[in-house]
């Protein structure tokens, strides 16, 4: 049964009006990159809680979460207003199997995300194991506007630290942006535009993780299956590992 830790907000960085990163100081907290916890606040109407993936990597002193504000949401607008020193509760232990331990080996690893679904991948990139297991890692992040492309400095630092191993491909669907593609992920895969841009294949020797908008996940998974790739199951290892992450 989950327990609750009393934590303190240390930073609330606003990428833009509806996207922010919340950092909290917690007691010693063990988890596996890719897992999620629940954040909770007490309100006059009662306790409100939601699940969010951890953006920070294991072993770091602060827990970090990438949150998109939902205008009529019960929790995200309250989280957006939190300031340094405010209290928040975090569930323990962390949960979920969207982790690299569940992913078979492959020639390349595709980390495909939309919106805040990039969060678990940022946590994974801060671990040693991912760089030791996969020769090529492709991080794909599709968003609506350029301002939604969070953590670009962190991603570029990873590229500098592991030259030639990580390829970052942003996709911006509602604005023109240098270096970004501008179509939906299934279309980019079907026309081979994504594979060409990233200089990597999507075949039976690939491992693909999908996280973000459920529609993107469903359509991309269906397309990949028509290409001969299979969903990764514990009893039947395959190529496609999925996380339904839409908060």
DSSP state, 222?
A: H
Neighbours of 45 (CB within 10 A): 7
Cα gap 190→59, rounded to integer Å: 39
What's the pTM? 0.96
- At 243, is the pLDDT very low, low, confident or very high (cuts 50, 70, 90)? confident
Three-class DSSP category at 193: helix
- Model pLDDT, residue 62: 96
Q: Is the pLDDT of residue 246 over 80?
A: no
**Mean pLDDT of all residues in 112-120:** 98
Q: Is the pLDDT of residue 223 over 80?
A: yes
Three-class DSSP category at 207: strand
Burial class (CB in 10 A: 0-12, 13-18, 19+), 212: buried
- Model pLDDT, residue 244: 64
Q: Is the pLDDT of residue 69 over 90?
A: yes
Distance of CA 49 to the CA centre of its chain: 20
Least confident of 21-25, 59-63, 191-195: 59-63
**Mean pLDDT of all residues in 93-103:** 96
Q: 209 Cβ partners below 8 Å, 6+ apart?
A: 98, 103, 109, 110, 111, 112, 121, 241, 242, 243
Cα gap 125→84, rounded to integer Å: 27
Only one residue has tokens 């990233």, namely 198
Helix runs in the chain, H state only: 76-80, 119-125, 129-133, 152-161, 185-190, 193-198, 214-226
pLDDT digits (tens, 9 = 90+) for 27-49: 889 999 999 999 999 999 899 99
- At 61, is the pLDDT very low, low, confident or very high (cuts 50, 70, 90)? confident
- At 1, is the pLDDT very low, low, confident or very high (cuts 50, 70, 90)? low
- Model pLDDT, residue 2: 76
Closest to 233 (Cα-Cα) out of 53, 112, 104: 104
Give yes or no for a contact between 36 and 95, defined as CB atoms under 8 angstroms apart.
Answer: yes
- Model pLDDT, residue 247: 43
């Amino acid at each position: 049964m989950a327990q609750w830790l009393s934590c303190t907000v240390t930073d609330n960085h606003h990428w833009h009006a509806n996207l922010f990163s919340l950092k909290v100081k917690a007691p010693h907290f063990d988890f596996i990159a890719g897992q999620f916890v629940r954040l909770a606040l007490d309100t006059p109407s009662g306790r409100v809680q939601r699940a969010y993936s951890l953006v920070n990597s294991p072993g770091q002193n602060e827990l970090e979460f990438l949150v998109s504000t939902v205008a009529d949401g019960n929790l995200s607008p309250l989280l957006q207003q939190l300031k340094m020193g405010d209290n928040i509760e975090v569930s323990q232990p962390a949960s979920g199997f969207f982790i690299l331990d569940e992913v078979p080996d492959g020639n390349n690893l595709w980390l495909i995300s939309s919106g805040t679904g990039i969060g678990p991948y940022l946590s994974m990139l801060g671990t040693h194991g991912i760089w030791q297991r996969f020769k090529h890692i492709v991080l794909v992040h599709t968003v609506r506007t350029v301002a939604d492309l969070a953590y670009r400095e962190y991603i570029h630092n990873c590229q500098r630290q592991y030259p030639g191993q990580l390829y970052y491909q942003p996709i911006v669907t509602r604005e023109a942006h240098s270096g970004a593609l501008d179509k939906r992920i299934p279309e980019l895969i079907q026309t081979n535009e994504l594979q060409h841009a990233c200089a990597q294949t999507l075949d039976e020797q690939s491992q693909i993780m999908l996280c973000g908008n459920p529609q993107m996940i469903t359509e991309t998974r269906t397309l990949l299956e028509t290409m001969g790739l299979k969903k990764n199951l514990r009893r039947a290892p395959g190529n496609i590992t999925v996380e339904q992450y839409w908060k």
